[in-house]
Amino acid sequence: MVSPRLRLEPLCAGHAPEAVQVFDDIRLHRWTGGTPATLEELEAVYRRRSAGQSPDGRNGWLNWMLRRLTDGRLVGTVQATLSRPETGGIEAGLAWVIGSDHQRNGYGREGARAMADWLRAHGVHELTAHIHPRHRASIGIARALGLSATTEMADGEVVWQSRP
């Protein structure tokens, strides 16, 4: 996929050496907790995620690396976890991460919008995102995608939802 400034590349384990440099930053964990992954950990995570589904086969995994068109630099990632609720259709739980050095340039919004548009064009019934209640940048992205905050909380995060 291509947006005005970004190319969305399907994730593969080969992205890890470049990605570890972008994501090896404790500031990215302010809202989500944890610590940056080592190269070996990131390679293992990317191998699992690039399989396209959870180990039990219940969820589909779509992951894209965000690369600037102007210079080819990796700036972030977007992902969708797909499921089929009992009510029918397909749901996608969305997430995005932009490297600290690339934030405040609109890449998160642009990449997440390209992903959401693609998902909607491919029959996804509902989009959701779990966002820390004080994470203003992610709240702005969720609103730009047409998601609205619900009263539901999950692990200290507000569940945002849209039924396109």
Per-residue pLDDT at 31: 78
Asked, for residue 99, whether it belongs to a domain, the answer is yes
Asked, for residue 35, whether it belongs to a domain, the answer is yes
Give the residue numbers spanning the domain of 134.
6-162
Asked, for residue 1, whether it belongs to a domain, the answer is no
pTM summary value: 0.94
- Spatial distance between the Cα atoms of 53 and 50, rounded to a whole number of angstroms: 8
Report how far Cα 37 is from the mean position of its chain's Cα atoms: 17
- Spatial distance between the Cα atoms of 95 and 31, rounded to a whole number of angstroms: 13
pLDDT at 107 over 90: yes
Asked, for residue 78, whether it belongs to a domain, the answer is yes
Asked, for residue 92, whether it belongs to a domain, the answer is yes
Per-residue pLDDT at 106: 98
Residue in the structure block whose two tokens are 């642009």: 110
pLDDT at 125 over 90: no
Asked, for residue 110, whether it belongs to a domain, the answer is yes
Domains held by the chain: number = 1
- Spatial distance between the Cα atoms of 132 and 122, rounded to a whole number of angstroms: 28
Asked, for residue 132, whether it belongs to a domain, the answer is yes
Predicted confidence band at 11 (pLDDT cuts at 50, 70, 90)?
A: very high
Asked, for residue 148, whether it belongs to a domain, the answer is yes
pLDDT at 48 over 80: yes
110: domain CATH number is: 3.40.630.30
